[in-house]
Amino acid sequence: MRATVLVRPKQGILDPQGDAVETALAHLGFSVTDARVGKVVDLELDATDPAEARVQVEKMCVELLANPLMESYEVEIHG
Amino acid sequence: MRATVLVRPKQGILDPQGDAVETALAHLGFSVTDARVGKVVDLELDATDPAEARVQVEKMCVELLANPLMESYEVEIHG
């Protein structure tokens, strides 16, 4: 079973990488008013039940993939 | 108009960050057989037409956000 986790800097948290992307895009002539950069983590799991897989992945987010003080996360489970 | 870009290492391209995540998850006791790490970029655009926005964002991917030799990208345009 496959899962995708999106980890993003929370609103109000400084995001220097996003600022750099915004500046670089402006220099290239693009009209962008905000850019934020986070991580996407694609996982291949042994779990076969979608509900169980989601529980496992949420736990991975809390324990390793995201810093809950500064980052929010979103979990998608694929069939 | 908002857009989300997912940038992932292509299949066959080494992904040391993904390998590190896989090893760390295994050490924490999770059953994960593969992990790949990429970037998510959230953009706020001036464009008001979804088709025009997509063209712009695809151009940003080619010119800045992704390295087409090593990375694939996926663009989502939100209302």
Interface probe, candidates B43, B71, B73, chain A, greatest A C-beta count within 10 A:
B43
Question: What is the C-alpha end-to-end distance of chain A, expressed in Å?
Answer: 6
pTM of the predicted model as reported, rounded to 2 decimal places:
0.94
d(CA B16, CA A77): 23
Q: Is the pLDDT of residue B79 over 80?
A: no
Q: May I ask the CATH class of domain A2-78? A: alpha beta
Chain B residues with CB inside 8 Å of A41's CB?
18, 21, 35-38
Q: What is the pLDDT of residues B6-65, one digit of tens each?
A: 999 999 999 999 999 999 999 999 999 999 999 999 999 999 999 999 999 999 999 999
Tell me how far the alpha carbon of residue B60 is from its chain's centroid.
13
Domain borders along chain A are 2-78
Task: Assign A79 a pLDDT band (cuts: 50, 70, 90).
Answer: confident
What is the rounded (10 degree) CA torsion for B20, B9, B78, A67?
A: 10
Whether B37 sits inside 8 A of A38 (CB atoms) is no
Amino acid letter at A71? E
Q: What is the mean pLDDT of residues A9-30?
A: 97
Judged by a CB distance cut-off of 8 A, whether residue B30 touches chain A is yes
Q: Is the pLDDT of residue A33 over 90?
A: yes
* Type and span of the H or E element at B65: none
Judged by a CB distance cut-off of 8 A, whether residue A33 touches chain B is yes
Q: What is the pLDDT of residues A39-60, one digit of tens each?
A: 999 999 999 999 999 999 999 9
What pLDDT is stored for residue B14 in this prediction?
Answer: 96
Q: Considering only alpha carbons, which residue of chain B is nearest residue A26?
A: B60
d(CA B35, CA A69): 23
Measured over the CA atoms of residue A26, residue B57, residue A40 and residue B16, the dihedral's sign is negative
